[in-house]
Amino acid sequence: MKLKINDSNRISGTGSYQKQSEMRASGARKAKSKDEVQISAAAKEMLSANGLQGAERAKQIDQLKRSITSGNYHVEAGKIAEKLLPYLKE
C-alpha cells in the first residue's frame, strides 16, 4: 500500500476560521454605532407655538381624556387642515 501526501506544509481549515473572526470584528464595529434622533426646526416651532405649559397642559389633557372616554370628543377636519396647511406649504 502506497500513501501519497500532497502539500505537507499546508494547514487546512484556517481560511474559514479567519473569515469568521473578521465577520465578528466587523459586527462589533457595527454594534458600536448608536441611533440618533434629530428634531427639525419645524417640529420645534410646532411645540413652542402651542404655548401650554405645566398645569394648563395637564388640565387640557385631562379634559380631552374625559371627553374621549365619554364619547363626546369630535374632531373638526377643517380646523386640523388649517393648522397643517402652513407646514405643508413649506
User: DSSP for 51-85?
Assistant: ---HHHHHHHHHHHHHHHHHT-----HHHHHHHHH
Classified as helix, coil or strand, 11 is coil
Q: Based on C-alpha coordinates, what's the Rg of the chain?
A: 32
Quickly state the pLDDT bin for 32 (edges 50, 70, 90).
low
List C-alpha distances in Å: 3 to 6, 11, 61: 10, 19, 86
The x, y and z cell numbers of residue 13, run together, are 481549515
Average pLDDT, the chain: 78
**Does residue 14 carry a pLDDT above 70?**
no
Higher per-residue pLDDT: 71 or 10? 71
d(CA 72, CA 65): 10
**Does residue 46 carry a pLDDT above 80?**
no
